[in-house]
Amino acid sequence: MVIARSTPNIALIKYWGNRHDAFRLPAADSCSITLDSPGVEISVEHSPVFHLQSFLPDGTEKILKEKDTARIEEHLNLTKQFLSTKNLADVIPESVSIVIRSAIPPAIGIASSAAVFAALAKCYAGLISAASVGAPHPINTASVGAQRAVPLPDAIHLTNRDISVIARLGSGSAARSIFGGFATLINKPDNLQPATCNTIDSAYAMQIAPETHWMLHDIILVPTMEEKKIGSTEGHHTAHTSPLFQKRIEAIAARRQHICIDAILKKDFEALQQVVEEDCWDMHNVMQTQTPPLHYLNDETHRIVDEITDLREREHLPVLYTMDAGPTVHCICTEAALKAVQEFSHAQKDCRVFEAKIGHGATFI
Ligand code: DP6
């Protein structure tokens, strides 16, 4: 059995829309901060039939919807498809038993799917390493009752880049949670020819800077715990129907992603704030003008954003806001603004508050 833990990330330049839906190949680059909490712990072991159990933050078992189970089973199939491109198809079990223990409330704008698929990808990498050391082959022996004819010579350790590809096949943003600190999801590496640009491995994540580079906090204000009706996966599929979509993709490629990475490397909070908030509103404008339109923000979101902006201006605080596919407001700040942002957040009536800081990415337990 392999156990891994992972956490969500908060996107600074947002991934919204695909160039290939089945492989979750994004239409643009994105970048994010990996958080240290809340976490997801997943254990995976080989099993004759696919089995999935999931436990909620309060420890009760989650009643899984058919589509949630299907998504995780489909992810295993895509993982096998990716491994076969590396001639590693036989080092992953035919089927698995998965137990998910999550401390993340689902579908409220804290990326629970990112943490789940990052932990799952890490588990698959762990199973592959365990299965590839020596003979008899533990997976094949247990699952089909036979020994591998030719034992693999060395343990196979997938690179973090490969693990990020596996994570991305379940949830695009999950690719970034493999890495600690600041990470980017690269949509189409420059050296790829048009004919190869939609291959299963043609988008992957990389670390921009480790968590020790810049201590940033994310104070997360959740105005409602109600689950959203339409998830990001469906939203990505129709993002291109917005008349604003193409312009957004061009702005990220020509300018925003570069400005964001540069601001991170130089620890230039003001430049970071401007580009992150610009990109956030741009993504929500695309969402609201795609068909069907998606309105994830509510009155509370707008009120919190206005008040945090006032606070920033009044007290000259290094704090920025950003929202993903939900009404939740992420207030990202440096140590200098932390106390004021905490006080502001805990004074918000009817808002649940989570406090996170920059974290170290997916790990084995
Ligand atoms: C708005 O790849 O996380 O958070 O797995 O279906 O939730 P699902 O999609 P996902 O989409 C992320 C969308 C976003 C922006 C981002 O994190 O980059």
Complete DSSP assignment for 272-334: HHHHHHHHHHHHHHHHHHSSS------HHHHHHHHHHHHHHHHHT--EEEE--SSS-EEEEEE
pLDDT digits 0-9 by tens, 273-296: 999 999 999 999 999 999 999 999
User: Ligand 1, atom 5: nearest CA belongs to which residue?
Assistant: 171
Ligand 1 centroid from CA 106, angstroms: 13
Type and span of the H or E element at 185? strand 182-186
- Does 111 sit in the ligand 1 pocket, CB within 6 Å? yes
**Cis peptide upstream of residue 38 (ω within 30 degrees of 0):** yes
Does the structure show a pLDDT above 80 at 105? no
- What pLDDT does 142 receive? 40
Which atom of ligand 1 is nearest to 111's Cα? Answer: 3
pLDDT average, residue stretch 33-61: 95
Strands 18-20 and 96-102: unpaired
- State which of 9, 276, 324 you would mutate to test the pocket of ligand 1, scoring each by most atoms of that ligand within 8 A of its C-beta: 324
Q: Which domains does the chain have, with CATH numbers?
A: 2-364 (3.30.230.10)
- What pLDDT does 146 receive? 42
- What pLDDT does 226 receive? 75
Q: Kindly indicate the confidence band of residue 190, based on its pLDDT and cuts at 50, 70 and 90.
A: confident
Ligand 1 centroid from CA 236, angstroms: 8
pLDDT average, residue stretch 44-56: 95
Ligand 1 centroid from CA 15, angstroms: 6
**Rounded distance, CA 101 to CA 286, Å?**
34
Contacts 24+ apart (CB under 8 A), 270-274: 270/318, 272/12, 272/320, 273/318, 273/319, 273/320
- What pLDDT does 6 receive? 98
- What pLDDT does 122 receive? 98
- What pLDDT does 174 receive? 98
Q: Kindly indicate the confidence band of residue 90, based on its pLDDT and cuts at 50, 70 and 90.
A: confident
Residue 10: what residue type?
Answer: I
pTM of the model as a whole: 0.93
Q: What percent of the chain is predicted at pLDDT more than 70? A: 93
- What pLDDT does 156 receive? 87
Q: Kindly indicate the confidence band of residue 147, based on its pLDDT and cuts at 50, 70 and 90.
A: very low
* Least confident piece of the model among 81-95, 234-248, 317-331: 81-95
Residue with the bigger pLDDT between 155 and 353: it is 353
User: Ligand 1, atom 2: nearest CA belongs to which residue?
Assistant: 172
Phi and psi at 96, nearest 5°, equal -140, 160
User: Ligand 1, atom 14: nearest CA belongs to which residue?
Assistant: 324
Does the structure show a pLDDT above 50 at 143? no
Residue 294: what residue type?
Answer: L
Which atom of ligand 1 is nearest to 113's Cα? Answer: 5
- What pLDDT does 196 receive? 74
Residue with the bigger pLDDT between 146 and 200: it is 200
Q: Kindly indicate the confidence band of residue 106, based on its pLDDT and cuts at 50, 70 and 90.
A: low
Contact 133, 69 (CB under 8 A): no
- Does 276 sit in the ligand 1 pocket, CB within 6 Å? no
- What pLDDT does 89 receive? 84
- What pLDDT does 153 receive? 61
**Rounded distance, CA 2 to CA 128, Å?**
10
Scanning the chain, the segments in alpha helix (DSSP H) are 66-84, 112-132, 138-144, 160-168, 174-177, 232-238, 245-251, 257-266, 269-289, 299-315, 335-346
* Least confident piece of the model among 115-129, 136-150, 199-213: 136-150
- Does 325 sit in the ligand 1 pocket, CB within 6 Å? yes
Mean pLDDT of the chain: 92
Ligand 1 centroid from CA 233, angstroms: 7
Number of residues that make up the chain: 365
Does the structure show a pLDDT above 80 at 110? no
Q: Kindly indicate the confidence band of residue 131, based on its pLDDT and cuts at 50, 70 and 90.
A: confident
Residue with the bigger pLDDT between 272 and 93: it is 272
Does the structure show a pLDDT above 90 at 363? yes
- HSE-CB at 307 with a 13 A cutoff on CA atoms is 16
The set of residues, in sequence order, having a beta carbon less than 8 Å from that of 191 and lying 6+ positions away, is: none
Does the structure show a pLDDT above 70 at 63? yes
- Alpha carbon distances (Å) from 352 to 176, 305, 325: 25, 16, 17
Q: Kindly indicate the confidence band of residue 138, based on its pLDDT and cuts at 50, 70 and 90.
A: very low
- What pLDDT does 152 receive? 54
- What pLDDT does 150 receive? 53
- Does 324 sit in the ligand 1 pocket, CB within 6 Å? yes
pLDDT digits 0-9 by tens, 205-243: 999 999 999 999 999 999 977 777 888 999 999 999 999
pLDDT average, residue stretch 178-193: 88
- Does 171 sit in the ligand 1 pocket, CB within 6 Å? yes
- What pLDDT does 364 receive? 96
